[in-house]
């Protein structure tokens, strides 16, 4: 297994779908995963260090893991099947380790909150450079490239976007 980190969160310009880009810790390969807007908001809020008076869903999950005496050892994004990625939360409690099936987006949001490490399999990482919407050839995808062209947000852009969100905006990611 290869350790990865969240490199960026962007928006697929073709489908207007959020994409989280995971990058290997000791290398240049990436794993783009298209995610839902609510999960993108949860990841973005944690990356920006935003805290709320009441726990959001992923905060609640993190509190439940800790409250039940568990420790999130790691998240593993293990495979893709029928265009769906699969992940497991590896939770340790006492002398036991439990693998909990979860969506990668939820797993990433929880891992960020619990400062857990992220891993993926060698086969899921790609050497293909992820093109952004700022590219000169944005209408022509590179051969073998991922089908999306996410535009990564800088930390300042992400914070500005999140500060403008109101309660009615949670659940949509549209920078």
Question: Can you give the pLDDT of all 175 residues of the chain as single tens digits?
Answer: 999 999 989 888 888 889 999 999 998 899 999 999 999 999 999 998 888 888 899 999 999 999 999 999 999 999 998 889 999 999 999 999 999 999 999 999 999 999 999 999 988 987 544 443 333 343 433 333 343 444 555 656 655 665 565 544 444 444 4
Query: Cβ distance 116 to 75 under 8 Å?
Result: yes
Residue 45: closest CA among 171, 162, 165, 166: 162
Question: What pLDDT, on the 0 to 100 scale, is given for residue 156?
Answer: 63
- The DSSP-derived string for 130-171 is PP-TTSTTTTSPPTT--S--B-PPPHHHHHHHHHH--GGGTT
- Left (φ > 0), alpha (ψ -120 to 50) or beta: where does 15 sit? alpha
Supply the pLDDT for residue 155.
58
Instruction: Report the DSSP beta bridge partners of residue 101.
Output: 88
Give one DSSP letter per residue of 47-63, joined into a string: HTT---SS--HHHHHHH
Amino acid 168: pLDDT: 46
pLDDT of 144 reads 38
Give the whole-angstrom CA distance, residue 67 versus residue 168. Answer: 30
pLDDT for position 150:
43
Taking alpha carbons only, the member of 85, 73, 80 closest to residue 111 is: 73
Q: What is the pLDDT of residue 95?
A: 94
Joined tokens for residue 6:
């969240």
Q: Is the dihedral of CA 30, 172, 152, 142 positive or negative?
A: positive
């Amino acid at each position: 297994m290869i350790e990865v980190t969240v490199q960026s969160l962007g928006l697929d310009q073709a489908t207007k779908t959020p994409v989280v880009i995971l990058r290997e810790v000791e290398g240049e390969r990436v794993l783009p995963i298209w995610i839902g807007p609510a999960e993108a908001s949860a990841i973005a809020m944690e990356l920006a260090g935003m805290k709320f008076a009441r726990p959001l869903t992923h905060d609640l999950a993190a509190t439940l893991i800790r409250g039940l005496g568990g420790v999130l050892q790691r998240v593993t994004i293990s495979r893709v099947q029928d265009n769906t990625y699969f992940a497991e939360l590896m939770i340790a409690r006492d002398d036991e380790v439990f693998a909990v099936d979860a969506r990668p987006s939820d797993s990433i949001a929880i891992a960020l909150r619990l400062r857990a490490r992220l891993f993926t399999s060698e086969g899921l990482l790609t050497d293909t450079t992820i093109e952004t919407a700022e590219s000169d050839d944005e209408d022509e995808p590179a051969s073998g490239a991922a089908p999306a062209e996410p535009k990564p947000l800088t930390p300042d852009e992400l914070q500005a976007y999140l500060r403008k969100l109101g309660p009615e905006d949670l659940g949509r990611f549209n920078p």
